[in-house]
Amino acid sequence: MTTARHDQRLPRQLRPISVERPSYGSAAGRVLIRAGRTTVLCTASVDESLPPWKKKDLVPSGWVTAEYSMLPGSTSPRKSRERNGKVDGRSTEIQRLIGRSLRAVINFEALGPRTIAIDCDVLEADGGTRTLSITGGFLALVDAVHSLVPLGVDPQKVITQSIAAVSVGIVDGQPVLDLDYVEDSQAGVDFNVVMTGDGRFVEVQGTAEHGTFSHDELMSLLDVARHGLQDLQALQKQTLGAKWPLDSRD
């Protein structure tokens, strides 16, 4: 039996999502993405250099890295600002997830010997900040790659697939998509799912917050996630328009 969620969404329904590509800022890619109240500014900056360890490659190739931060006013009570290079364990884990996810769809040789840094700054947090950062970070990354076209970079060779992420969970015994904070705090099972546009998993993070979950419940959650990720990919494609790099592979 399907029961209404606290915000009246259907179990497989995403929160209302909007995407802006603001004119302010100097980064090559700039995306302001919202899901419900959760709001993340994702920027992608190009650096014509490489990390020292990457310079040892026999074949010169590029790199993609990510940083994640929750601004002090994004939560209540206020979150202390991270200073002097000190990043808390949660932020470190999330930015590593964002970096891994975005690197999974990049051909580094085609990118060339340069670094693209993705910065995800949470302006308001109401659940799903890490997954929204990946979905928005991909959009900013594509814009940054397109800025390199005058240098001979071919976006269709650099970007091998799209990537998006979403949360799913079991709330009141029901599998639901895209949890906000209220649902996340009550979920018996909570998952973050990262998937490419062709339906391959990059990462699945999940745990039973209370008790355990069955194989059938796991499969149900992945099915709900796949449904939502298809909608997110459609949104990404619509947002990028002519910059969508995957038409020839669809």
Task: Look at residue 2 and tell me if it is in a domain.
Answer: no
pLDDT at 239: 97
State how many domains the chain has. 1
User: Tens digit of pLDDT for each residue in 128-183?
Assistant: 999 999 999 999 999 999 999 999 999 999 999 999 999 999 999 999 999 999 99
Confidence category of residue 2, pLDDT binned at 50, 70, 90: low
Domain containing 203 — which CATH number?
A: 3.30.230.70
The two three-digit tokens of residue 129, written as one number: 């900040």
DSSP 175: E
Task: Look at residue 60 and tell me if it is in a domain.
Answer: yes
Task: Look at residue 81 and tell me if it is in a domain.
Answer: no
**Torsional class of 127: left (φ above 0), alpha (ψ -120 to 50), beta (otherwise):** left
Decide: 31 and 139 in contact? Cβ < 8 Å: yes
| Statement: residue 250 has pLDDT above 50 | no
Domain that holds residue 164: 17-76+90-245
Task: Look at residue 223 and tell me if it is in a domain.
Answer: yes
| DSSP codes, 26-55 | SSSEEEEEEETTEEEEEEEEEESS--GGGG
User: Tens digit of pLDDT for each residue in 57-98?
Assistant: 888 899 999 999 999 889 888 988 877 667 788 899 999 999
Task: Look at residue 139 and tell me if it is in a domain.
Answer: yes
